[in-house]
Amino acid sequence: MIGRFCRLEPLAPAQHAGDLFAASRLDREGRGWTYLSVGPFADLATFQRWLEDAAADPARVFFTIIDAASGRAAGVACYLRIDPPAGSIEVGHIYYSPLLQRRPAATEAMYLMMRRAFDELGYRRYEWKCDSLNAPSWGAAERLGFRFEGIFRQATVYKERSRDTAWLSIIDSEWPELKQTFERWLAPENFDAEGRQIRPLRALR
C-alpha cells in the first residue's frame, strides 16, 4: 500500500527487524508498549523472535510501515479478527515508534489500511479496540473517524492486570465521506513548506 508519506509492506522480520528495533529504542522509557501485550524488548534477538511469531500467525496479517522520506521501517500494524462472512475486520497491534508518532505518515498508514479494507476487500465493518485507560489510542481512533460503541468490562488480562476494552468502529456507509476527508487532509496544499498541517483532520470532517 503506497502513499505520499509512507508505504506498507508485508512484515518481513529478517528485512525489517533491525530498523524497527532501532526506531523503538528511541522510545527510551518504553511508553509505546504500555498497552500492548508484548514489549518493551531488551535486545534485537528477542524483538525479532516476536516479529517472526507475528508474521507466522495465520489469524493476523502484519504490515511494516516504511517512512517514505528515509526509507526506514518505523512501525507496524495488522489486520486481525478477520471475518469475511460477517464483513468485519479489525486493525490492531499498532506500534508507532517516535519516528512515526504525530507525523503525517501515521495518519496516512491508517487511511491506506482502511482504503484496502473497504474499497479493495469489500468489508463493511472496520473495528478498533483499545484498553479503556489508553487515552491516546482512544483519542486517535476518534480523530480518525471511529465511533465509540461501548466498554467490554474485564475483557482480558495482560501484563498482570485486568483490562476493560473500548470498542470503536467505522462502517461502510460512513467510509465514502471519511475517505474524502482523509484525501483532503493528505493533499499537498494542506501542508506548509515545513510539512506542518494547515487544517486539522477533525476540522475537515
Q: In the block, which residue shows the cell 494547515?
A: 198
* pLDDT per residue as tens digits for the range 88-99: 999 999 999 999
Domain count, the chain: 1
Which pLDDT score is estimated for 157? 96
Domain of residue 71, residue span: 6-204
We report the CATH number of the domain holding residue 45 as 3.40.630.30
pLDDT tens per residue, range 148-158: 999 999 999 99
DSSP conformation class of 134: -
Rounded-to-integer distance, Cα 95 and Cα 145, Å: 19
pLDDT at residue number 150: 98
| Other C-beta atoms lying within 10 Å of the C-beta of residue 187 | 12
Q: Is the pLDDT of residue 17 over 90?
A: yes
Position 1 in a domain: no
According to the model, what pLDDT value does residue 105 have? 97
The residues, any chain, with a CB within 8 Å of residue 10's CB and separated by 6 or more, are 55, 61, 62, 63, 64
| 35 lies in some domain | yes
Residues in the chain: 205
pLDDT at 205: 86
Instruction: Answer whether residue 49 is part of any domain.
Output: yes
User: What band does 47 get if pLDDT is binned at 50, 70 and 90?
Assistant: very high
Sign of the torsion formed by the C-alpha atoms of 21, 25, 29 and 32? negative
pLDDT at residue 68, rounded to an integer: 96
**192 in any annotated domain:** yes
> How far is it, in rounded angstroms, from Cα 78 to Cα 54?
9
Position 70 pLDDT exceeds 90: yes
pLDDT of residue 162: 97
Which has more confidence, 205 or 63? 63
- 110 lies in some domain: yes
Q: Are the CB atoms for 157 and 175 separated by under 8 Å? A: no
